[in-house]
Amino acid sequence: MGTITDQIKIMTDQTKMPPWYLKDIYRYLSAFGVLTLIYIGFRIYQGAHGISSGLDSTDPAFEIYWMRLFNFNVTFITLFAGLSWGYLWFSRDKNLDTLEPKEEIRRYLTLTMWISVYTFAVYWAGSYFAEQDNSWHQVAIRDTPFTANHIIEFYFNFPMYIILGGCAWIYARTRLPLYAKGISLPLTLAVVGPFMILVSVGFNEWGHTFWFREEFFAAPIHYGFVIGVWFALGVGGILLQGVTRLIELLDEIEDAA
């Protein structure tokens, strides 16, 4: 009786368990889930309070609904950066010389998951909330750098993908031998280039204050963002680094059914 239950238990466990090389798949999927909830939550919040309290930065309600959110975002982002980068650094692998090929393969797949989570955050920052910014500028007159969409886009979404990009970079640097021996140029480009988009916020706000007061998206004051995002193409180099190393590693391990 007991043996049958045990067997069933093992079988169900087996079907639930991902294969060894996808050990982190559930964490990966839950990261997508959590990020989706956060971003959709932001959009729902904007829908609920954008027009009622987000049109005038001198309104007291703006202070409550939007500046508090700004303060929350900045605090959260700072803490999250410290915690995630700190965790990845302090839990680093100090014996990379003895790393088994199988474990290295697994880590390459996990690195791909990290970069994938990073690009998912890039999607929300670079696509949805970025274009939504143009839409919001057709509704609210710009009277502050902290608009109902900027507070989310510039002070949560941009730092968020930077943190996740940084996580991918640190993960590679601390857990994969090739990335620990040398600094991967494409990975660094793909993380640092889009980071410069955040720095371009300064150029954007300067431009809108002194130079270009109208909401024309193709304006030169936005080109800082554009150049920053080109560096995302560094992912091509990361792919090639991954593929060549994975082939070496796969050739080292035994065939299995």
Partner 1 sequence: MSSKLSTQTFHHYIGEKARIARAYDYLVLVLALFLFIGSFHLHFALTVGDWDFWVDWKDRQWWPLVTPLIGITFPAAVQAVMWSNFRLPLGATLCVACLSIGTWIARVFAYHYWNFFPINMVMPSTLLPSALVLDVILMMSNSLTITAIFGGSAFALLFYPSNWPIFGMFHLPIEAGNSQLTIADMFGFQYIRTGMPEYLRIIERGTLRTYGQIATPLSAFCSALLCTLMYTLWWHIGHWFATTRYLKKI
Partner 2 sequence: MTTINNHKLTKMLTQINQSFVKEIQQQEILKSLFFLAIIFLAYMATFQPVMAHGEKNLEPYVRMRTIQWYDVQWSTQKFNVNDEVTLTGKFHVAEDWPISVPKPDASFLNVSTPGPVLIRTERYLNGKPFMNSVALQPGGDYDFKIVLKGRLPGRYHIHPFFNLRDAGQVMGPGAWLDIGGDEADFTNNIQTINGEIVDMETYGLGNGIFWHSFWALLATAWLLWWVRRPLFIARYRMLKAGMEDELITPLDKHIAKAILVGVPVLVFAFYTMTVNQYPKAIPLQASLDQILPLSAKVNAGVVDIETLRAEYRVPERAMKLSLNIKNSSDKPIQLGEFATGGIRFINKAVSIPDHNNTESVIATESLSLDNPTPIQPGEQRTILITAGDGLWESEKLDGLINDADSRIGGLVFFYDSEGERYVSSITSAVIPKFN
User: Per-residue contact track with partner 2, 208 to 247, x per CB under 8 A?
Assistant: ----xxx------------------------x---xx-xx
1 binds, among partner 2, partner 1, none (CB under 5 to 8 A by kind): partner 2
Q: State yes or no: residue 77 binds partner 1 (CB under 8 A).
A: no
Cβ 160 vs Cβ 118: under 8 Å: no
Rounded to whole angstroms, the Cα distance separating 153 from 66 reads: 13
Considering only residues 98 to 117 of the shown chain, the ones binding partner 1 according to CB under 8 A are 105, 108-109, 112-113, 115-116
18-36 b/e (C-beta count within 10 Å ≥ 16 → b): eeeeebbeeebeebeeebe
Give the position of tokens 């035994």. 254
Stretch that binds partner 2, among 25-33, 46-54, 75-83, 192-200 (CB under 8 A): 46-54
Q: Residue 153: which of 75, 33, 70, 55 has the closest Cα?
A: 70
| Residue 56, contacted partner among partner 1, partner 2, none, CB below 5-8 A by kind | partner 2
Is residue 242 within 8 Å of 234, Cβ to Cβ? Answer: no
Distance in Å, CB of 135 to partner 1, minimum: 4
Contacts of 62 (CB under 8 A, 6+ apart): 53, 54, 56
Binding test (CB under 8 A) with partner 1, winner from 5, 19, 60, 90 = 19
From the list partner 1, partner 2, none, pick the one residue 17 interacts with, judged by a Cβ distance below 5 to 8 Å according to partner type.
none
* Residue 176 lies near partner 1 (rule: CB under 8 A): no
Minimum CB–partner distance for residue 30 and partner 2 (Å): 20
